[in-house]
A = this chain, B = another copy of it.
């Protein structure tokens, strides 16, 4: 319940923004896999990018320490346990959150749900910081999937009013999937600069912006996903909504398909070089919840960072009166930038869990 996900590959996320540490336990990962720690560190670094005008002053080295599950760097069959210490926290920034909930945050619902026992420092367990352990788990899953020839990538296709270009879902290239791995900003030129400007502008106005992330995966064999409630869409969605600020998800052509005729939306089959081929990909690689061999494509919409420096209307729960809230501290003006690898992590975890689960059907 709550912070545990997965069927064969079970991931349990723990920690609060300002608790001693955050981390995860990954139970069910195959034994005998050499985790590439450097590659994992690179993946984690994408969550906390530097070199951008608004890069947070909070230094999150996010150094991952494995407490268990590895024997000489190789998974040994026991659960993987990873910890990231919380350092450089400034809890005094958050003293008032218990009485004056921040609009758009979980402060108020947590206060009611847990009767004031919640840890509200930095958003507690609801903090975006908890996506770091999700990236640990997802980053290792991603490495493993690559050994099977399954490659995942994501990029920003919208930041506030600025739209970038979607990938051609029929032919997503490895170069495209890996672009954001290397880039300072996870969107392709020429859109990247306009998106950066949009964020800088919002920040200069003490405000924030939302965004849309597109994620794709290639190399999936036909047949991954289970009918009805355990298809690729169900499983990816269940994890993706665990990323703070995600408010929508769509697969393939998503909401656009509602406006279409069946004749325009059905992806036809053709024989190409003796192989069954699908000549369009409105389905985003998924039929009946099951992979059809086309690139898996989905998009998630993230709301603007709720923590803004503009004064906001709120209430003082201790006095029952209206008040104005002025948030201090360090806040990212656009969560979507850092969320790009997190969406990849979510996708990789969902897919690897399904692959492990249905081994028998596939082989």
Contact across chains for A79 and B114 when beta carbons are under 8 A apart? no
A86–chain B nearest beta-carbon distance, Å: 9
Q: Mark A289-322, 1 if CB is under 8 A from B, else 0.
A: 1111000000001111111101011110100111
**With known contacts A255-B212, A266-B306, A288-B126, A78–B247 Cβ distance under 8 A:** no
How many protomers of this protein does the assembly include? 4
Docked complex: A242-293 residues within 8 A CB-CB of B: 242, 244, 246-263, 265-271, 274, 276, 279, 282-284, 287-292
**With known contacts A4-B12, A234-B237, A118–B77 Cβ distance under 8 A:** yes
Assess whether A25 is interfacial by the CB under 8 Å rule: yes
Q: Mark A18-39, 1 if CB is under 8 A from B, else 0.
A: 0111110101101110000000
Assess whether A363 is interfacial by the CB under 8 Å rule: yes
Q: When the two chains form the complex, which single residue of B118, B228, B262, B362 contacts A125, counting CB atoms closer than 8 Å?
A: B228
A25–chain B nearest beta-carbon distance, Å: 5
User: Which of A100-108, A168-176, A186-194 participates in binding chain B?
Assistant: A100-108
Assess whether A138 is interfacial by the CB under 8 Å rule: no
Contact across chains for B209 and A303 when beta carbons are under 8 A apart? no
A317–chain B nearest beta-carbon distance, Å: 7
Which residues of chain B come closer than 8 Å to A202, judged between CB atoms?
A: 261-262
Most-contacted residue by chain B among A3, A121, A266 (CB, 10 A): A266
**With known contacts A126-B227, A250-B248, A209–B288 Cβ distance under 8 A:** no
Contact across chains for A304 and B257 when beta carbons are under 8 A apart? yes
A357–chain B nearest beta-carbon distance, Å: 6
Assess whether A5 is interfacial by the CB under 8 Å rule: yes
User: Which of A40-48, A54-62, A63-71 participates in binding chain B?
Assistant: A63-71
**With known contacts A4-B229, A260-B303, A287-B108, A16–B76 Cβ distance under 8 A:** yes
A155–chain B nearest beta-carbon distance, Å: 14
Count residues on chain A whose CB falls below 8 Å from chain B CBs. 152
List 19 other contacts, CB 8 Å, given A14-B67, A21-B67, A207-B261: A1-B28, A12-B25, A15-B78, A20-B67, A71-B118, A83-B83, A103-B266, A104-B262, A110-B288, A112-B223, A210-B259, A242-B289, A247-B257, A257-B304, A258-B303, A262-B304, A263-B312, A268-B314, A363-B363
Contact across chains for A255 and B248 when beta carbons are under 8 A apart? yes
In the bound complex, CA of A68 to CA of B89 (Å): 14
Contact across chains for A241 and B247 when beta carbons are under 8 A apart? no
Assess whether A233 is interfacial by the CB under 8 Å rule: yes
Assess whether A117 is interfacial by the CB under 8 Å rule: yes
Contact across chains for B258 and A30 when beta carbons are under 8 A apart? no
